Structure 1
Amino acid sequence: MTIPHDPDGRRDIAHVGPIELYTPVLDESADFFVRVMGLRAVHRDDSSVYLHTWDDYQSWTLRLIQRDAAGIGRTYLRAAGPEALQRLVAKTGATRVLTDVHNLGEVHVCTDPDGHELGLYWNVEWYRADDTDRPALKNQAAAYPGRGANLRRLDHVNYLTADVPGTSAYLRDVLGARCTEQIVKDDGSPQAIWYSLGNKTYDLVYTEDWTGTRGRLHHVAFATDTREEILRAADVCLDAGVHIETGPHKHAIQQTFFLYVWEPGGNRIEICNAGARLILAPDWKTISWTKEERAKGQAWGLKTIETFHTHGTPVVAPAGDPE
C-alpha cells in the first residue's frame, strides 16, 4: 500500500484520546472520579469502569482497571484521519492490532522508548447524551454537571521515563510532536520535556525517573473551565478527605494554574487550567529552564513539595533507599 506523503509531518496526531489508569481499589477510585471529580460512569465490565468528562466528544475519557498496583495503562492517540493513521503505523512500526477496545475502531498498539503503551486509532463512537444529561446547547457533549470538581476534559499525561533524550527524539521524529518547553541539566541535556501535538501548549510530558525505572506515571491532568473551579475543587477535596499534595498555585513552566491530589489508588491527579495559552507560532522556539531557575520555585514563589520528586506509580524504591 502506498502511504500518502504529509509535507507538514506534525499534524498526523489530532489529540490525546482516552487513557487507562490502574488502581488496586477500583470501586474507591471510581467513586472518587464520579462523586468528587464530577465524571460520569458510562460502562462497566468485570475488571474496569469507563468514565466520561462532560465535554469530551468521545464516548469515554478514562478507563479505571483493577490491578495490584497503581499506574498508567494504555494512552490512546487519535490520528488526524485515515491516511494519517497509516503514516503513524508505518513510522511507529506498530504491528499489534486490537479490534475489541470499547467504542473505538481498529487500534494499532506501539510503545514509546520507555515502554509506555500507546494506542493509535481513527474510528471512534461519539458520546450520546440521554435524557439525564442532554445539553441545552447542541455543540456540547453533555449537560454542564456543576458538581464536584466539574472536570471538563482530559488535558495531558505526565509520564516518568528513564531516558528523556531518547523519548524526546521519539516524540519529535516518530510522532511528529514539538517540544514547547523543557528543563535542562547543567550539561544541557533535557531532564523533563513538554511536547505539543497541536496548538495546546502541551499534551505529553516526560520527566526523568529518579529511580531509573521504566514505564511509570507522574500524573494525569484534567482541565476545568476557570481558575475559580480549581479553588472550589480544593474545598471539595478537603471535605471529601482527599489527600491534597500541593496547590492551588501557578506553575512557572507553562504557567498552568494547578491543584495536585492523590486518588484512592495512589495515582497523582492534577486539576488544571491552562487553556488561555496556545502555541500559534509555527516556528516556536523551545523554552529551556535551568536548575537555578527551577530553584526559585513556582511562579508565585511556592517551593515544590518533596513528594513531587519522590512519588510516582507504581511505587518503587530507589536503589539502596527502601520505600
Structure 2
Amino acid sequence: MLRLSWMTSPEPLHDIAHLGSVELLTPQLEKSLWYFRDLLGMEVVQRTAAAAWLRGYGDYAASTLKLSQAPSPGVGGIAWRATSPAALERRAAALQEVGLGIGWTNGDFGRGRSFRFRDPDGHHMEIYFEEQRYEAAEGLRSALKNQPQKYTGRGVGVRRTDHLALLASDVATNRRFAQELLGFQLREQVVFDDGKNEIGSWMSPNAIHHQLAYVADVKGGHGRLHHFSLWVDNREDVLRAADILVENGVFIEAGPSKHNNSQGFYLYSYEPGGNRVEIYSGSYLVLAPDWRPVTWNERERGTGTYWGAALPESFIQYGTPDIAGEAQTPAPDLSIFY
C-alpha cells in the first residue's frame, strides 16, 4: 500500500482554481458522441478520427470534455487549472518532489503548457494555466454578453462540467494527497468502524461543494472511474433529462432523487461507451475558509438517499474500466455513502 510523507503547508494552498477538463475513454466513440452531443446538448468544438472535444453552453473554456477512442471505457486525463503561472510551477515542483510527476507537455487542445502527474491510486492528471477562451460562432452567440454561448434547447442542455468521482483502493491516502499537495478543502466524508475505515471523501479547490470525490473501490482496482457529472440549472431539468434518456433507449441506473451527501439532485445513466454519467443540480456552496468537514458513519445515513430506496447494487460494484469478480470480502455496505 502506497504511503506518502509530504508535509502539510502552514498556510492554505490556493494554487488550483477549478476542474478544467475531463477525458473519457470509450470503445464506442460515435455512439458516445451521440449521447453527449444530441441527448445532453453539448457542442462539439474539435474533432479527429480518434477523439472529439466538447463543452457545455455555460463553459467559458474552449473545451471541458474530451472523448477518446479506446479499447475499454474509463477516465483518461483529468486537467486542473492553476490560479497563475507561478502556482503551476509550485505545484509541479511539489508533485515532482514526492515522486508523482510524469513530466511537462505542450498541452492538449485548448490548453497551454501542462504538468502531468498521477495520484496515489494511479489516475492520470495534469495542471495547466494557459487556456483558450471559447468564442461563439455567429449562430451560437448569446444575447447575454456575460454568457459564452446561447442556450440551444437541444436535448438536456447541460450548462457545465461539475465534478467527477474516482474509485480508489485507499481513500485516506488519496484524500490527503488532494488536500496537502493540491490544496483541496474537505467538505464531507464517510467513515466506518468508529473512525477507522474511510470509504468516501468529497473535496473542492473552490466554493463548489465538491469537484473531486474519492470513494472506495470494493474490487480493489486502481485508476478507475465511478462517475462524471454535468450540471443543469434546476430539478426540473433533471426530470426532463430522465424523459429524454428513456425516450432514446438509454438505461437509467438511479434517480431522479436527492443525495444526503451534498444535497444534490441527481440522475445516473450509462453513456454508450459504458461510463456512468450523472446529471446534477442543487447542492450547496461552501464559502467559509474554516469549514468543518461533515463526517457520516454507517448509523447516520439510512439508505444514503434523502428520498426513496437505496441505490442499486450496480452502483457499488460497477466502475470503469470494469473488472471481473464481486466485491472483496469483507465488503462494507457502501450504498449509504452516495
User: Shorter chain as normaliser: what TM range?
Assistant: over 0.9
Instruction: Give the SS at the match of 1:292.
Output: coil
Instruction: Give the SS at the match of 2:229.
Output: strand
- CA–CA distance in 1 between the matches of 2:107 and 2:234? 37
In the TM superposition, residue 268 of structure 1 has moved relative to its aligned partner by 0.2
In the TM superposition, residue 7 of structure 1 has moved relative to its aligned partner by 7.4
Matched, 1:49 2:56: no
- CA–CA distance in 2 between the matches of 1:176 and 1:61? 22
2:129 aligns with one of 122, 127, 150: 122
What is the match of residue 206 of structure 1? 214
In the TM superposition, residue 291 of structure 1 has moved relative to its aligned partner by 1.4
- CA–CA distance in 1 between the matches of 2:175 and 2:327? 29
In the TM superposition, residue 82 of structure 1 has moved relative to its aligned partner by 1.1
Matched, 1:193 2:196: no
- CA–CA distance in 1 between the matches of 2:326 and 2:136? 50
Q: Percent identity, aligned pairs only?
A: 39
Instruction: Give the SS at the match of 1:18.
Output: strand
What is the match of residue 29 of structure 1? 32
Residue type of the alignment partner of 1:242: V
| TM-score, with length taken from structure 1 | 0.94
- CA–CA distance in 1 between the matches of 2:290 and 2:327? 45
Instruction: Give the SS at the match of 2:253.
Output: strand
Deviations 1:92-126 (A, max 9, x none): 11351111411210010011000101110000110
- Seen in structure 2, the aligned counterparts of structure 1 residues 10 and 302 have a Cα distance that, compared at 3 Å, is farther
- CA–CA distance in 2 between the matches of 1:51 and 1:320? 34
Gaps in structure 2 of 5+ consecutive residues: 1-8, 329-338
Checking the alignment, whether the CA contact within 8 Å between 2:26 and 2:67 is kept in structure 1 is yes
2:109 aligns with one of 94, 102, 106: 102
What is the match of residue 13 of structure 2? 10
Aligned residues: CA RMSD: 1.5
Residue type of the alignment partner of 2:230: F
What is the match of residue 158 of structure 2? 151
In the TM superposition, residue 320 of structure 1 has moved relative to its aligned partner by 9.0
Gaps in structure 1 of 5+ consecutive residues: 1-5
Checking the alignment, whether the CA contact within 8 Å between 1:162 and 1:209 is kept in structure 2 is yes
- CA–CA distance in 2 between the matches of 1:295 and 1:192? 16
In the TM superposition, residue 317 of structure 1 has moved relative to its aligned partner by 1.6
What is the match of residue 278 of structure 1? 285
Matched, 1:297 2:304: yes
Matched, 1:219 2:256: no
Instruction: Give the SS at the match of 1:219.
Output: strand
2:174 aligns with one of 144, 167, 174: 167
What is the match of residue 249 of structure 2? 241
- Seen in structure 2, the aligned counterparts of structure 1 residues 252 and 194 have a Cα distance that, compared at 3 Å, is same
- CA–CA distance in 1 between the matches of 2:72 and 2:194? 35
Moved over 4 A (4+): none
Checking the alignment, whether the CA contact within 8 Å between 1:41 and 1:52 is kept in structure 2 is yes
Number of positions where the alignment pairs a residue of Structure 1 with one of Structure 2: 315
Residue type of the alignment partner of 1:41: V
- Seen in structure 2, the aligned counterparts of structure 1 residues 34 and 243 have a Cα distance that, compared at 3 Å, is same
In the TM superposition, residue 301 of structure 1 has moved relative to its aligned partner by 3.3
Residue type of the alignment partner of 1:272: Y
Checking the alignment, whether the CA contact within 8 Å between 1:210 and 1:318 is kept in structure 2 is no
Checking the alignment, whether the CA contact within 8 Å between 1:21 and 1:64 is kept in structure 2 is yes
What is the match of residue 3 of structure 1? none
Deviates more, 1:220-229 or 1:182-191: 182-191
- CA–CA distance in 2 between the matches of 1:255 and 1:106? 37
In the TM superposition, residue 34 of structure 1 has moved relative to its aligned partner by 0.5
Deviates more, 1:289-298 or 1:201-210: 289-298
